[in-house]
């Protein structure tokens, strides 16, 4: 899974064939996935890590069936997360 998105750069995982074709300048087509927004508010309590947050959010997202969709995180809660934690 790509983590470049923490830098506010859009990125997503592709298979080896797709990556090779793109690097060789071949056109590839793909359907643009649905975007699901997650608004983060507040800050993590003392002793709670970003890993705790992501595991909780991942569990919640699985229940909503976000496989194959882009998930965009936004809101004031991002302000207190370091780049590494994003």
Q: Domain check: are 38 and 79 in the same one?
A: yes
Do 13 and 22 touch, CB atoms closer than 8 A?
no
User: Alpha carbon 40 to chain centroid distance?
Assistant: 13
Using DSSP's 3-state secondary structure scheme, residue 6 falls into helix
Question: How high does pLDDT run on average in the chain?
Answer: 86
Residue 39: CATH number of its domain: 3.40.1060.10
In this predicted model, what pLDDT tens digit does every residue of 69-83 receive, in sequence order? 888 889 999 888 888
Residue 24 sits in which domain range?
A: 1-30
Number of compact structural domains in the chain: 2
Return the higher-pLDDT residue of 1 and 26.
Answer: 26
pLDDT category, 2, cuts 50, 70, 90?
Answer: low
Rounded to the nearest 10°, the torsion over CA 63, 5, 79, 57 is: 10
Scan for tokens 């699985």, then name that residue: 62
Rounded to the nearest 10°, the torsion over CA 69, 70, 71, 72 is: -150
Region 25-31 average pLDDT: 85
Q: Domain check: are 63 and 85 in the same one?
A: yes
Q: Domain check: are 67 and 44 in the same one?
A: yes
């Amino acid at each position: 899974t790509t983590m470049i998105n923490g830098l506010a750069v859009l990125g997503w995982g592709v298979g080896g064939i797709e990556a090779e074709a793109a690097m060789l300048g071949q056109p590839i087509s793909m359907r643009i996935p649905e975007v699901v927004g997650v608004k983060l508010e507040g800050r993590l309590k003392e002793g709670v890590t970003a890993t705790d947050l992501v595991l909780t959010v991942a569990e919640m997202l699985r229940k909503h069936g976000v496989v194959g969709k882009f998930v965009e995180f936004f809101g004031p809660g991002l302000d207190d997360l370091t780049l590494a934690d994003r």
